[in-house]
Amino acid sequence: MILVIYGLAIFVGSFLLFLIQPMVGKILLPALGGAPAVWTTCMLFFQAALLAGYLYAEKSIKKLGCEKQSVIHLLLMALGLLSLPLDIEFNGLDQASITPVSWLFARLTGSIGFLFFIIAANAPLIQRWYSQSGQKDSEDPYFLYSASNAGSLLALLVYPFLFEPAFTLTTHKHIWSGLYLIQMLLVFLAAMYLWQGKDKKNSAIIQEEKLQNSFLSRKPWSLWVLWGFIPCSAMLGVTTHIATDIASGPMLWIFPLAIYLISFILVFAGTPRFREIAWDRQMLPMAALISIMYFFKLNERAWFVIPLHLYFLFTVCMAFHGRLAINRPAPALLNSYYVWMSVGGIFGGFFNGIVAPTFFNTQIEYLLTIIIAVLASTFSYAGNNDEEFPVAGEFLVFALIMLVLMTFAWFSDMSAKTLMSLPGLIGTLAVMIIVHLFFRFRKAAGVLFLVGNLLSMQHLHGNSRIVKIDRSFFGIHKITRLQTDGTTCDPDLKIEGVADIFFCLSHGTTLHGVERKVDIRPLLPLSYYSREGPIGDVFRLGLINRQAKNVGIVGLGCGTLAWYGRPWQNFDFYEIDPMVVSIASNPEYFTYLSRSRAKTRIIVGDARVKLRQAKPQQYDLLVLDAYSSDSVPVHLLTLEAFKLYLSKLKPHGILVLHISNRYFKLSPVISRIFARLDMHSLERFDDPKNYSIKYDWYDEKQISKSFWVAGSKNKERLEMLKIFGNWQPMKISDAYSIWTDDYANLLQVYNWR
């Protein structure tokens, strides 16, 4: 019974910790547009609060002892009741996009800082209490850490698949508050067993001072920090790499974090089975394979690539978390152990969340973490030759690596050409040599791996198609020179083809606009914004009687929509990322803004924040183009958001939304909100193959399919869109929920096909 109480107290506490994180993110983080760095920064905050909780646990027990400290801890938990139910203050929201990291930290500290801090201390405290409870297994309480991570994992999986679809945010807060009361009761019962067992405590208490002195002299903390840093940094690096370079699908961040937690559960379990496996034998060859995939951009078929990165992360976590479990100290040093482990996590979060976006233009922190993991593994290995690993096993590893590379070549002609080129052949040969050395001359392999990667880094900046790569808090922005085939004959211009004439702006896997850079013909809007497309219809309608004098546009991209401007029009662009503003405003890259005949103004910040500052009924036309093809800023698609948009539109005004998306069917949600607000609505899916006016072949290839919807209080004006294009009435289905700031169900609109 005692073990059940202690295990439940730790399990529920960790469940609360991981339940509060997505809850607060749902409330707070949409103010920053849902950028991947938002999650990374929040992880850094949570790790900092976790470290604070661990430090409190260590210092308070050291000063007071377990019994007195347990009383103080219960009083602090009671004080936490004053912070319930959870609430978030949005003070200084207008500064969020300017100083996002400090703004996030201030809001998180003020809202959940104390609660997170006090609950974070539960796991190490209760493990330490258990070590003095007099139970037969209390001399090694670390198996309870598996219960802690099991609670975290359950919360991670339950929230997006159960809590979010089934309950409103207000209900989430009440459930969390109820669980907090249960947690207080469990901690109180654990403390009671501690007090009752004070005469049966084991000898670890007597040896505490001696062990502390030994700890300071041996300084194993440096290894605890390193072994905590590598898996955390790898987890964040894999998450960002998948979202940026492979396929930024919804909720993909769950998988790396789940692997991170599962590894803790396995290596700290009561059985030593998983921590005694030689995970380095799998991690080191995978590191070589992932490196060549990284350098040669072998990202074909997300369903094939993503599992490879996730399995590599699993081997890293198992290898280094296994080291932490194997080298765990006596219970007297339990709290110090968790403190230094948490310091490693802090370093990982700081490196990936603060240092990398500040100093690196590309997502190279992932590669650097791989290198650190390999060096830490090779130089901490006791010997130099893995004599227990059979030669047949080595050949099997070679065969599997070659099979993966051949699969990439089979998937894509480009990958095949890359691997069969001289650099590709040299890289493949180097991988085989390094993998062989991993098993036979491990330290030499580590040095060769380091040198090979440092030399190969020059390749990252040698791609002539990349015009510019820059990085902000909101992501990595890449300007690429798109190529035509350079051979197709243009009969109108009597030339044999034109190559390298388009600049493309992309953010991860999402296209933000294309511009032709050679003045063969007049500049035209491309990608999703063509004249024959839905947005072209909207702007032609606005020209009638000059009915669209004032235009608001949420999402700047490369400024393509500025092309539609006329001298009598005012265009206000709302853009959350200052770096996008810098790119779009630079004529060396894109000239839509500089060539626009309208008066343009760029307003930096989140659209919902900045639109509140606009005058009532200011706009004749409001265009929302902030929904990427991979993710959805939910706060821009709620009933409250649409009420804001409507308040800024004139009575005859039109609200237009670009909702092209690979993963979500957003139109059912939007149609229900339009109906709730008594707005008439239309939609149009655009396929360039159906255009009546043909573009030149080189421009036509840069026009993309798109999906747009429009709504207005003025039915007659909206109906005129049918004259300009194939706009159809939106279907309204009660099967879909109306999204609000309190409730949104992404699973309901996920495209499962």
Q: Which residue has the tokens 């359950």?
A: 154
Average pLDDT over residues 573-583: 91
Band (470; pLDDT cuts 50, 70, 90): confident
Burial, 170: exposed, middle or buried (Cβ in 10 Å; 0-12, 13-18, 19+)?
Answer: exposed
What is the Rg, in whole angstroms, of the alpha carbon atoms belonging to the chain? 29
Q: Return the pLDDT at 183.
A: 93
In the predicted structure, residue 265 carries a pLDDT above the cut 60 = yes
What is the distance between the alpha carbons of residues 371 and 362, in angstroms, rounded to a whole number? 16
pLDDT score of 490: 52
What is the per-residue pLDDT for 462?
52
So what's the pLDDT on residue 203?
Answer: 45
Strand partners, 477: 470, 507
CB atoms within 10 A of CB 342: 25
| Spatial strand order in the sheet of 510-516 | 466-472, 475-482, 502-507, 510-516
329-355: average pLDDT: 88
Identify the H or E element spanning 728.
strand 728-729
pLDDT at 76 over 90: yes
- Mean pLDDT, all residues of the chain: 84
Q: How far apart are CA 479 and CA 468, in angstroms?
A: 5
Q: How far apart are alpha carbons 26 and 170 in whole angstroms? A: 12
Answer whether residue 204 shows pLDDT above 50: no
Position of tokens 């080189």? 698
State yes or no: pLDDT of 150 exceeds 90: yes
What pLDDT does residue 486 have?
A: 53
The contacts of residue 368 (CB under 8 Å, 6+ apart) are: none
pLDDT of residue 180: 93
Answer whether 329's CB lies under 8 Å from 131's CB: no
Beta bridge partners of 624: 554, 657
Model confidence at 450, in pLDDT bands (50, 70, 90)?
very high
Per-residue pLDDT for 211 more than 60? no
Picking from 271-275, 387-391, 449-453, 466-470, which range would have the lowest pLDDT averaged per residue? 387-391
Q: What is the mean pLDDT of residues 190-194?
A: 87
Say if residues 617 and 649 touch (Cβ distance below 8 Å). Answer: yes
pLDDT at residue 403 greater than cutoff 50: yes
Number of Cα atoms under 13 Å in the Cβ half of residue 676:
20
C-alpha distances in Å from residue 363, one per residue of 230, 236, 295: 16, 11, 12
Smallest CA-to-CA distance from 119 within 261, 14, 230 is with 14
> What is the rounded average pLDDT of the residues 546-553?
94
pLDDT class for 86, splitting at 50, 70, 90?
confident
- Asked if the model's pLDDT at residue 323 lies above 90, the reply is yes
> Is 70 exceeded by the pLDDT of residue 95?
no
Give 367-422 as a 3 state SS string: HHHHHHHHHHHHHCCCCCCCCCCCHHHHHHHHHHHHHHHHHHHHHCHHHHHHHHCH
Which of these ranges, 543-547, 589-593, 689-693, 697-701, has the smallest mean pLDDT? 689-693
Is residue 375 over pLDDT 50? yes
Omega before 231 within 30 of 0, i.e. cis: no
In angstroms, how far is CA 138 from the centroid of its own chain?
39
DSSP 41-56: HHHHHHHHHHHHHHHH
Q: What percent of the chain has pLDDT over 70?
A: 87
DSSP code for 159 = I
Q: How confident is the model at residue 89 (pLDDT cuts 50, 70, 90)?
A: low
Please name the residues in contact with 102: beta carbons below 8 A apart, sequence gap of 6 or more. none
Q: In the prediction, which pLDDT does 248 show? A: 57
Give the mean model confidence (pLDDT) for residues 394-398. 89
Assigned token pair, 237:
């690096």
3-state class of 203 per DSSP?
A: coil
Cβ atoms of residues 158 and 254 within 8 Å: no
Query: Any idea what DSSP says for residue 752?
Result: -
Whose CA is closest to 69, among 339, 335, 331, 330?
A: 335
> In this structure, what token pair is assigned to residue 664?
């979500």
Bridge partners, residue 495, by sequence: 490
Residues in the chain: 753
**Burial category of 629 from C-beta neighbours within 10 Å (exposed 0-12, middle 13-18, buried 19 and up):** middle
- Measure the CA–CA gap between 669 and 673, rounded to whole angstroms: 6
- The owner of tokens 């309901």 is 748
Q: Is the pLDDT of residue 516 over 50?
A: yes
CA angle 673-675-681, nearest 5°? Answer: 95
SS3 329: coil
What is the average pLDDT across 333-346? 90
Strands (E), 564-662: 570-575, 599-604, 619-624, 649-658
Mean pLDDT, residues 717-741: 88
Paired tokens of 105: 């930290």
H helices of 199-253, where? 208-218, 221-241
- Candidates 405, 404, 429, 430; CA nearest to 416 is 405
Token digits of residue 84: 């319930």
Of 226-235, 291-300, 310-319, 516-525, which range is least confident?
516-525
Handedness of CA 660, 663, 668, 669 (dihedral sign): negative
Q: Is the pLDDT of residue 656 over 80?
A: yes
Q: Place 77 in a pLDDT band, splitting at 50, 70 and 90.
A: very high
Contact between 697 and 501 (Cβ < 8 Å): no
The pLDDT of residue 500: 57
With beta carbons less than 8 A apart as the criterion, state whether 103 and 475 touch.
Answer: no
Distance (Å, whole) CA 102 – CA 20: 20
C-beta separation of 648 from 613 below 8 A: no
Checking if the pLDDT of 534 tops 90, the result is: yes
Give the pLDDT score at 206. 42
Residues 588-612, mean pLDDT to the nearest whole number: 91
Nearest in space to 708 (alpha carbons), one of 666, 745, 752, 747 = 666
CA gap 708, 718 in Å, rounded: 13
Pairing of strands 649-658, 619-624: parallel
pTM confidence score: 0.80
Distances (CA, A) of 299 to 303, 307, 492, 504, 549: 10, 11, 38, 19, 45
Task: Tell me the average pLDDT across 442-470.
Answer: 80
For the record, the structure tokens of 541 come out as 């309608």
Q: What pLDDT shows up at residue 91?
A: 65
Q: Which residue has the higher pLDDT, 493 or 138?
A: 138
Q: Is 590 helix (H, G, I), strand (E, B) or coil?
A: coil
Residue with tokens 């699973």: 747
The label of the residue with tokens 């600049």 reads: 503
Residue 450 amino acid letter: L
Question: In angstroms, what CA-CA distances link 556 with 41, 561, 669, 711?
Answer: 24, 8, 24, 21
In this prediction, residue 540 carries a pLDDT of 92
Q: Phi, psi at residue 282, to the nearest 5°?
A: -95, -35
Does the pLDDT of residue 570 top 60, yes or no?
Answer: yes
**Helices H, strands E: what count in the chain?**
28, 12
Grouping H, G, I as helix, E, B as strand and the rest as coil, residue 432 is: helix
CA 15/CA 127 separation, integer angstroms: 16
Gap between the Cα atoms of 479 and 504, Å rounded: 5
